């Protein structure tokens, strides 16, 4: 703890917890002491302890789950690496998961048709999933694919358990090579807050991406919403 009396107590507690996170005493995903536990340990009010935890959350070092407590954030995920959510999660030592919100065939609207370079009304696959890491919701992704490139894909596969990119590669021979994407920060909708289990004060990163194969053929058009406290944009400018 900081002995400087001019430093607020909640800041001293926050800095103490931050140091313990950096030292590995609290690993990513670990539950931090509760307000009550901190209040007893440091001899402060629960309001002061609550403020310390809120400061950690605002700094992107921790996150809260209603009724479960406050947990250490894992390292932020870069949105500039072309890999599947499942692969990225495994590389970070987490168990990927998905909850399928929609899996259907539909006629392509004008905007989707333009992205996929197909005629409007062409039958497409629409797959919306809530993406989970260690059972924690991190993103909402909606993939659009020309059904002719992956016939019967929804009949043959369960995307609550399987990786879309792995299925496209192994079963249909489509390899994602490069992508063109747009990312912007915005406030989440009420539905997004509910699905991602987050406060409305936390921004989200909205992503629109078209992914291409080796012949520069568009394979997937995806719109995604990522928790802004768990993802970052990394770019090298020259």
Distance CA 61, CA 97 (A): 23
Spatial contact of 200 and 164, defined as CB atoms under 8 Å apart: no
Distance CA 236, CA 238 (A): 7
- Res 234: pLDDT: 65
**Class of the 77-232 domain?**
alpha beta
Interval 123-162: pLDDT, tens: 999 999 999 888 889 899 999 999 999 999 999 999 999 9
Q: Does domain 9-72 have CATH number 2.40.10.10?
A: no
Helix (H, G, I), strand (E, B) or coil at 230: coil
Helix (H, G, I), strand (E, B) or coil at 181: strand
Q: Which two tokens stand for residue 46?
A: 């629960």
Rg for the chain, CA atoms, rounded: 21
**β-pairing, 218-227 with 204-212?**
antiparallel
Interval 195-225: pLDDT, tens: 998 888 888 999 999 999 999 999 999 999 9
- Res 27: pLDDT: 84
Spatial contact of 115 and 210, defined as CB atoms under 8 Å apart: yes
**Would the CA dihedral through 233, 81, 216, 156 be positive or negative?**
negative
Give burial (CB, 10 Å; 0-12/13-18/19+) of 43.
Answer: exposed
Q: Which residues of the chain have pLDDT under 70?
A: 1-5, 75-94, 232-238
Q: What is the domain partition of the chain in residue ranges? A: 9-72, 77-232
| DSSP secondary structure letters along 11-50 | HHHHHHHHHHHHTTSS-TTPBPPPHHHHHHHHT--HHHHH
- Res 212: pLDDT: 95
Q: How far is CA 18 from CA 6, 33, 52, 226, in A?
A: 19, 12, 10, 25
Q: Which residue has the tokens 């002491």?
A: 33
**Would the CA dihedral through 186, 189, 192, 198 be positive or negative?**
positive
End-to-end Cα distance, the chain: 43
Q: Which two tokens stand for residue 169?
A: 């590669």
């Amino acid at each position: 703890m900081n002995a400087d009396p001019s430093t607020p107590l909640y800041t001293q507690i926050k800095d103490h917890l931050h140091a313990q996170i950096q030292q590995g005493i609290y690993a990513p995903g670990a539950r931090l002491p509760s307000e009550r536990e901190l209040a007893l340990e440091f001899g402060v009010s629960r309001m002061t302890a609550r403020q310390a935890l809120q400061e950690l959350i605002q700094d992107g070092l921790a996150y809260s789950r209603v009724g479960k407590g406050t947990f250490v954030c894992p390292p932020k995920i870069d949105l500039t690496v072309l890999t599947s959510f499942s692969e990225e999660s495994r590389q970070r030592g987490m168990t990927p998961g998905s909850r399928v919100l929609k899996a259907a065939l539909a006629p392509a609207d004008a905007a989707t048709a333009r992205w996929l370079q197909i005629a409007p009304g062409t039958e497409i696959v629409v797959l919306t999933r809530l993406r989970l890491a260690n059972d924690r919701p991190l993103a909402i992704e909606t993939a659009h694919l020309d059904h002719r490139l992956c016939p019967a894909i929804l009949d043959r596969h369960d995307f609550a358990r399987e990786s879309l990119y792995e299925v496209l590669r192994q079963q249909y021979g489509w390899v994602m090579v490069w992508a063109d994407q747009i990312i912007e920060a915005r406030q989440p909708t009420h539905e997004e807050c509910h699905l991602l289990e987050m406060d409305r004060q936390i921004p989200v990163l909205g992503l629109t991406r078209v992914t291409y194969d080796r012949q520069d053929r568009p394979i997937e058009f995806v719109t995604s919403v990522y928790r802004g406290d768990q993802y970052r944009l990394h770019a090298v400018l020259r």
